[in-house]
Structures are given as structure tokens and as C-alpha cells.
């Protein structure tokens, strides 16, 4: 009976080690998933924003603000 217990112990410790590595790799993957969650800025489909004034008016305003 002792020989059976001795042979089973190493087999049980190896899967625990693999489970620990698997858990560790899952934790690392979960942390990197946050970076994949939003691959870019959120742009609405209906992006019809009217610009204020004409091109020349906007340039004049920008020059005035940048003084």
C-alpha cells in the first residue's frame, strides 16, 4: 500500500502545478483583455455636427485665439 501512495503523490503534485500555471496565465490574459476591450475612440454612426462659420471665419478666430 505504501508503494501505491508514493507513486500517486508525484502524479497529484504535477497537475496542481499545471493548474497553478494555468491560473497564472489566465490572470495575465485577463489583465491584457482590458486593452483589447475598446480598440479605438467611440465614434457615433450619425456624426452630423455643423461647423460654426465659414472656413475663413474659423481661421480668423483661430489666429485671434492663438495670439
- The tens digit of pLDDT for each residue in 22-63 reads 888 888 887 777 666 667 777 788 877 788 889 999 999 999
CA 61/CA 67 separation, integer angstroms: 10
Q: Residue 2: which residues within 8 A CB-CB, separation 6 or more? A: none
What is the grid cell recorded at 28? 495575465
- Cα dist. 62→33, 36, 65 in Å? 41, 37, 5
Task: Output the pTM of the full model.
Answer: 0.30
Site of grid cell 474659423: 58
Per the rule left: phi > 0, alpha: psi between -120 and 50, beta: everything else, 11 is alpha
Note the pLDDT of residue 2: 54
Note the pLDDT of residue 28: 82
Q: Tell me the pLDDT band of 17, cut-offs 50, 70 and 90.
A: low
Amino acid at each position: 500500500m505504501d508503494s501505491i501512495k508514493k507513486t500517486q503523490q508525484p502524479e497529484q503534485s504535477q497537475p496542481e502545478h499545471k493548474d497553478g500555471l494555468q491560473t497564472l496565465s489566465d490572470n495575465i490574459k485577463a489583465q491584457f483583455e482590458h486593452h483589447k476591450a475598446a480598440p479605438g475612440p467611440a465614434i457615433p454612426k450619425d456624426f452630423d455636427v455643423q461647423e460654426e462659420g465659414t472656413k475663413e471665419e474659423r481661421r480668423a478666430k483661430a489666429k485671434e485665439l492663438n495670439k
